[in-house]
Amino acid sequence: MDAWGRQLEHLIGAHAEHVYVLPEDPAIPIHPYEKLPLYMVTGWRAEPRAPGASP
């Protein structure tokens, strides 16, 4: 993962209220190289969550 990806992951992890992993539709074929988890993030915390804290 690139540096910008890690920065974005940290920003979202520190400020997001809720993070969900969306299920994939088994009826839609996906190439193995393109099969990645899809996340949905909702809410925003003004105060960042402490490192290592549960979401």
* pLDDT tens sequence across 24-49: 998 999 898 988 889 999 999 888 87
Domain around 36: 3-42
With respect to residue 51, please indicate whether it lies within any of the assigned structural domains.
no
Alpha helices in the chain (DSSP H): 3-15
β-bridge partners, 38: 22
What's the number of domains the chain is made of?
1
- Domain annotation covers residue 47: no
| Residue 49 in domain | no
The arithmetic mean of pLDDT across residues 7-19, rounded, is: 90
pTM (2 d.p.)? 0.63
Task: Evaluate whether residue 10 is within a structural domain.
Answer: yes
Residues 14-24: tens digit of each pLDDT = 899 999 999 99
C-alpha to C-alpha distance for 41 and 9, rounded to whole angstroms: 11
Provide mean pLDDT across the span 1-24. 89
